[in-house]
Amino acid sequence: MLERLQKKWNVSGLRLVLIIAIFAIGGSLTGYAGKKLINLFNIEKGVLWVIVYILLITIIWPFAVLIVSLPFGQFSFFKNYILRIGVKLGVFSRESGVHSNETGPQLSTKDPQLTTHIAIFASGAGSNAQKIIDHFRHHSLIRISLIVCNKPGAGVLAIAGKENIPSILIDKEKFFRGDAYVPELKERGISFIVLAGFLWKIPSALTKAFPGKIINIHPALLPKYGGKGMYGRFVHEAVIAAGDKESGITIHYVDEIYDHGKIIFQDKCIVLPTDTPDTLAQKIHELEHKNFPAVIEKLLLK
């Protein structure tokens, strides 16, 4: 369990110990303060007492852990943690990261230390990359910080230039038999990788450096029509040739095997007798553009 938390929060062992200690101390302080405050209301113990007490500790807890985190040097972590909870509950807006009451105090979330930095790997035109960039353009907690491409002249590189996003054109030898660009990714603060039409197999050096932090989108309903060589038009031609009545998209975690990682999300579309690889591709693109950014956001904010 502790190892899972360490990976989820991307912290060292020492920081994890400090964070758990702050949770414990902050929780105790919250309980103590809640009981002291509720005594001021002279409410007899019962249903109303329980309701008021729960409301009080819900309000007190964020302030308690933030105060306790200061001497431990973990204020940024807990500020980020509370903001993520606030985004889920609708207390903070996704776009601005401020309290929903426009006349109330505003809480800025532009600190880069509080941001999840994503690298998008792509090989082609980059339509999915563009949709993802658009979705997170003003996000308070998630930022597209790097475009990685293996094909000179690919459209996604033009998108990176237009959007003022740094890009890396990777070398095959270094990617597969070198360090897989892990140092460059770490130096840029990348903590999550999205494959959006990236045609090279991901080497073990990269999956080990980012365990459970790399996802891919495949233009078919895995486990059907996956594996080496099954991408783009080749997939759609295979689906139509097999006479399938439906196709779709699969978003999945990435491991060392093509299209093999755990499935995160699937969506389907009908394949008509009149469909061609081109018309089916259009249906699949619509599913990709509709779902991929939203699934990424859900994964990162859970």
pLDDT digits (tens, 9 = 90+) for 26-47: 999 999 998 888 888 888 888 8
Catalytic residues: 218
The tokens describing 142, both together, are: 């998630």
What's the confidence (pLDDT) of residue 153? 92
DSSP string, 242-292: TT-SEEEEEEEE--SSTT-SPEEEEEEEE--TT--HHHHHHHHHHHHHHHH
What's the confidence (pLDDT) of residue 166? 94
Closest to 148 in 3D by CA, of 157, 135, 140: 157
pLDDT < 50 stretches in the chain: 95-113
pLDDT digits (tens, 9 = 90+) for 146-176: 999 999 999 999 999 999 999 999 999 999 9
Its pTM surpasses 0.85: no
What's the confidence (pLDDT) of residue 202? 94
Classify domain 115-301 at the CATH class level.
Answer: alpha beta
Domain ranges of the chain: 2-89, 115-301
What's the confidence (pLDDT) of residue 263? 95
What's the confidence (pLDDT) of residue 259? 83
65 Ramachandran zone, left/alpha/beta (phi>0; psi -120 to 50): alpha
